[in-house]
Structure 1
Amino acid sequence: MELLMQGVTLMVIGMATVFAFLVLLIVSMNCSAGFFKKFAHLFPEEVVEKKSSAGAGADPSAEVAAIIAAIRAKRG
């Protein structure tokens, strides 16, 4: 019976430790979210320009024709 009580005690201590860690994790995440909301103007996001592989003035019908040709080649 003593061994069973030691097992239950260890289980309760382990579960309490995990619960405390998860509560601490949630609190720290909420604090960091609040910090970054408050000071978002100090961390500007980088703007990435997307370049088209076909060029700026590419004909959309040529792209459609290439897609159709690829489908026909795949089907046989």
Structure 2
Amino acid sequence: MELLMQGVVLMVIGMATVFSFLVLMIWTMKGSAAFFSKFAHLFPEEQPAAVKKAPAVDPSAEIAVALAAIRAKRG
């Protein structure tokens, strides 16, 4: 019976440790979120560069290239 009680005590200590760590982690995350929302003007986000579109290609030319590649692969 003593061994069973030691197991229960270890289980309770382990669960309390995990619970306290999770509570501490949640408080830390909320605190950092409050900090960064308050001082967001000091951390500007980078603006993505404008993406240039490639010129339109004739779909039949793409098909011809694909067919030529297949024909070259087959011999």
Question: Which TM-score band applies after superposition, normalised by the shorter structure?
Answer: 0.7 to 0.9
Structure 1 length as normaliser, TM-score? Answer: 0.73
1:8 and 2:4 correspond = no
Structure 1 residues without counterparts, runs of 5 or longer: none
Structure 2 residues without counterparts, runs of 5 or longer: 71-75
Instruction: Specify the structure having the higher radius of gyration (Cα).
Output: 2
Q: Count how many residue pairs are aligned between Structure 1 and Structure 2.
A: 68
Structure 2 length as normaliser, TM-score? Answer: 0.74
Query: In 1, distance between residues paired with 2:63 and 2:45?
Result: 40
Query: In 1, distance between residues paired with 2:33 and 2:27?
Result: 10
Query: In 1, distance between residues paired with 2:48 and 2:40?
Result: 19
1:31 and 2:31 correspond = yes
User: Considering only aligned residues, what root-mean-square deviation do their CA atoms show, in Å?
Assistant: 2.7
Runs of 4+ aligned structure 1 residues displaced above 4 Å come to none
